[in-house]
Amino acid sequence: MFIGHYGVALAARPVRRTIPLWLLFIAVQWLDVVWSALVMLGVEKVRIVRGFTEGSPLDLYYMPYTHGLLGALALSLVLGALASLFIRDKRTAVIAVVGGAVFSHWLLDLVVHVSDLPLLGDSFKVGFGLWRHVWISFPLELVTLLIGAAAYAVYDPAPTRAGARWYWGFVVLLALTEIYAAFGPPPASPAAAAEIALFGYVVLAVAAALADRLRNVPKREAPISILEPMRLVDGPISG
């Protein structure tokens, strides 16, 4: 799963508003951020196989440290703990929300991946394999994104109509990104796949920070009438 992960980030934003949206965008892709680094270092392995599944050309045959169950749990705790060092208000809640966002990546990957998610070491691999059917996995990505986007909009409404328009424009941009990811050309090599993924995660996190800032611009206060000070001192002015 790719863009669907961001639905979790959007849904988590109202839960703990001290956690910036850009950090939640990093959190839901944290396993893949570390995966990208490990692939570039030659530690974890991937093959580019055209037609491997309808939804992805990536044969993720060795990734026990980032997408193994134990590795995913460990990385969830690491990022949650790191976030709590900088967001000191209710640190336990910060660890829970950020760590939960990280681990949601593994759970959503379980739905779409073929059997390449190890439960122990590099063994006992699981995956429901919906990537084999792009007509299922592609709508699922968009639905997951939209559910999360709607949750944010409902539980923490934008203060202005302009802010709401910026927000939904950003959601549309995310959906368009998924179209390219699902139907665009495959990466040229494993290293290229890792580099493109890492670049994309950084760009989308920066875009999330900008979109959330524009979304949450407060309403301008109504201008004070020249007679307002007199009303405050003497009460209403009679005709």
Banded pLDDT at 148 (limits 50, 70, 90): very high
Distance of alpha carbon 156 from alpha carbon 239, whole angstroms: 43
- pLDDT given for residue 59 in this prediction: 97
Banded pLDDT at 89 (limits 50, 70, 90): confident
Distance of alpha carbon 213 from alpha carbon 195, whole angstroms: 27
Q: What is the mean pLDDT of residues 163-191?
A: 94
pLDDT tens column, 17-65: 999 999 999 999 999 999 999 999 999 999 999 999 999 999 999 999 9
Banded pLDDT at 144 (limits 50, 70, 90): very high
198 close to 36: Cβ distance less than 8 angstroms: yes
Pairing of strands 117-120, 123-126: antiparallel
Least confident of 59-68, 125-134, 149-158, 228-237: 228-237
- pLDDT given for residue 88 in this prediction: 87
On the question of pLDDT at 78 being above 60, the answer is: yes
DSSP string, 95-164: HHHHHHHHHHHHHHHHHHS-S-EEEETTEEEE---GGG-HHHHHHHHHHHHHHHHHHHHHHS--SSHHHH
Q: Tell how far CA 199 is from the center of its chain.
A: 14
The encoded tokens of residue 49 equal 């196989």
Banded pLDDT at 95 (limits 50, 70, 90): very high
Residue 216: how many other CB atoms lie within 10 Å: 16
Higher pLDDT, 220 or 108: 108
pTM of the model: 0.90
Q: Tell how far CA 97 is from the center of its chain.
A: 13
- pLDDT given for residue 219 in this prediction: 73
- pLDDT given for residue 236 in this prediction: 47
Q: Tell how far CA 118 is from the center of its chain.
A: 23
What percentage of the chain exceeds 90 in pLDDT? 87
Residue 134: how many other CB atoms lie within 10 Å: 16
181 close to 1: Cβ distance less than 8 angstroms: no
CA-based angle 17:164:108, to the nearest 5?
Answer: 60
Q: What is the mean pLDDT of residues 139-164?
A: 96
Q: What is the mean pLDDT of residues 81-100?
A: 95
- pLDDT given for residue 137 in this prediction: 95
pLDDT tens column, 199-219: 999 999 999 999 999 999 887
